[in-house]
Amino acid sequence: MKNRKQTKTREADVPLDEAVGFLLHEAARLMNRGFSKRLARHGIQIGVFPFLRALWGEDGLTLAELAERVGRKGPTAVAALQQMERDGMIRRVVDKADKRRSYLYLTARGREFYTKSVPDAESHMKSCLSGFSQREREAFKSFLHRFRANLRAKSGETFGE
């Protein structure tokens, strides 16, 4: 007969609030809900923010390059970029040599949106990581990178959606 300690090692046997999948899902849900409320004060939807941030770091990306950087693909990326265009955050510049390709650039309005949202993004993340030492923060990020790499290797995907 198995002892109680041995049966608790299976993920399916631990209490729900100790299951890795549940903990990740719940933490992401709460983090995104809080961040979404902060962004809404600036007129930014949470689904747009990763694209805004990526273009802030490197302007002039193609749709495919941008989607790869933020881990979104297909309709999700297209919808976010259409919203950003409607809101005047980005502009498309068609490649003169290849009319099928265009490059995306932040407009002055897009830069203003991002600049206004940065203090809230930083404050929210500081709140999320409250009580973590710098060493714990680095370990946490390392664990998440490895966790994501495991998932990507298993799925064969490079996108994070």
On whether residue 76 sits in a domain, the answer given is: yes
Say yes or no to pLDDT of 1 above 70: no
pLDDT at 111: 95
* CATH number (domain holding residue 117): 1.10.10.10
pTM across the whole model:
0.80
Provide the residue count of the chain.
161
On whether residue 137 sits in a domain, the answer given is: no
Say yes or no to pLDDT of 93 above 80: yes
Taking CA atoms, 144 is separated from 9, 20, 138, in Å, by 21, 12, 10
- Unique residue bearing structure tokens 């709460």: 30
Say yes or no to pLDDT of 156 above 80: no
On whether residue 2 sits in a domain, the answer given is: no
On whether residue 138 sits in a domain, the answer given is: no
On whether residue 90 sits in a domain, the answer given is: yes
Q: Measuring CA to CA, which residue among 61, 1, 41 is closest to residue 50?
A: 61
Q: Mind listing the pLDDT tens digit for each residue in 11-63?
A: 788 898 889 999 999 999 999 999 999 999 988 999 999 999 999 999 999 99
Cβ atoms of 94 and 102 within 8 Å: the answer is yes
Residue 161: pLDDT band with limits 50, 70, 90 = very low
Starting at the earlier edge strand, list the strands of the sheet with 102-106. Answer: 61-62, 102-106, 90-94
Range of the domain at 69: 13-125
- Number of domains making up the chain: 1
On whether residue 154 sits in a domain, the answer given is: no
**How far is residue 114 CA from its own chain's centroid?**
15
**C-alpha span between 67 and 95 (Å, rounded):** 18
